[in-house]
Amino acid sequence: MKQRLVFAILLIAVVFLPAYSRQSPFWFVMLADPQFGMYASDRSFEQETANYEFAVAAVNRWKPSFVIVLGDLVNKAGDPAQIKEFLRISRTVDPSVLVHFVAGNHDAGNEPTPESLQAYRRAFGPDWYSFRAGPIYGIALNSTLIKSPQNAMHEYEAQDAWLRKELETARASEERNIIVFQHHPLFLSSAQEPDQYENIPVLRRRELIDLFRKHGIRHVFAGHTHKNVLAKDEDLEVTATGPVGRPLGKDGSGIRIATVTGSGLSHRYHDFGMLPAVLRVPDLPLPRDWMR
């Protein structure tokens, strides 16, 4: 009898535990626009230091699978002091947490040049790349190059060719959670909205939307707006998340947390003043009504 019980327990473990582990929640953190120097118009960055250190302290307490900073790492492209301070604090993230950077317009220039792109890469690393983390196939893009490619067309074409090939690779992987991270949101309210400072021009926006939909992309995460914006085009969701640095909307500075389960991805923005002391996100998926 005892042997039968042990055998039954082992059978349950073999059959059900792998399925449970595949469905276990996976979570990560998004930070946007720390933008060292913005508060004081480049005269100093004490407030940005305080905000980013606070965000990193929360990351170190929670220990997500990874953290991604969605652009505008500094306010003045190429400024040595701003870059040094941003990187100093970034290096204090717990070594168990992977850190990814996304290029913003304040990092590589509003109209990037080959020279400004090389300067960004020397300071921060690649400005377009992919990564794998648990159930996520992440694709990071230099959206400034997409928005204003005129001074670096060769670089724009190289990124575009890489993206098309990478999306084919991602789709062939059969990963359900292929997520695009970039600095500029594709759009703020409608895929048909006119061009403006905060979005991707219609000419290239429509092409990207069609490309993403073809390859099963459901989520594009961005920063740039310094406020929370959520917009959809059919099954494509575009989220611009509020800033670690200076806010320009009704929400304060904060952090966005995303959870992936077998049923999909959900996410929520937390103002710094409302951060949970103990994060229980890994225990349960976030309900959809938490998202904003």
pLDDT value at residue 23: 47
Instruction: Compute how many other C-beta atoms are within 10 angstroms of the C-beta atom of residue 4.
Output: 8
What global pTM score does this model have? 0.88
- 3-state SS, residue 75: coil
- Which residues are CB-neighbours of 203 under 8 A, at least 6 positions away? none
Alpha helices in the chain (DSSP H): 2-23, 46-62, 80-90, 105-108, 114-124, 143-147, 153-172, 202-214
pLDDT value at residue 175: 84
- 3-state SS, residue 132: strand
Question: Which domains are present in the chain?
Answer: 27-290 (3.60.21.10)
pLDDT value at residue 9: 39
Please give the angle made by the CA atoms of 283, 284 and 285, to the nearest 5 degrees: 135
Environment class of 60 (CB within 10 Å of its CB; exposed 0-12, middle 13-18, buried 19+): middle
pLDDT value at residue 261: 86
List, run by run, the mean pLDDT of 10-residue segments along the chain (292 residues): 46 38 73 98 98 97 95 98 98 97 98 98 98 95 98 98 97 91 98 97 96 96 98 96 96 95 89 79 41 38
pLDDT value at residue 24: 58
pLDDT value at residue 3: 52
Dihedral angle sign, alpha carbons of residues 105, 110, 111, 114:
negative
Distance (Å, rounded) from C-alpha 83 to C-alpha 105?
14
In whole angstroms, how large is the CA radius of gyration of the chain? 20
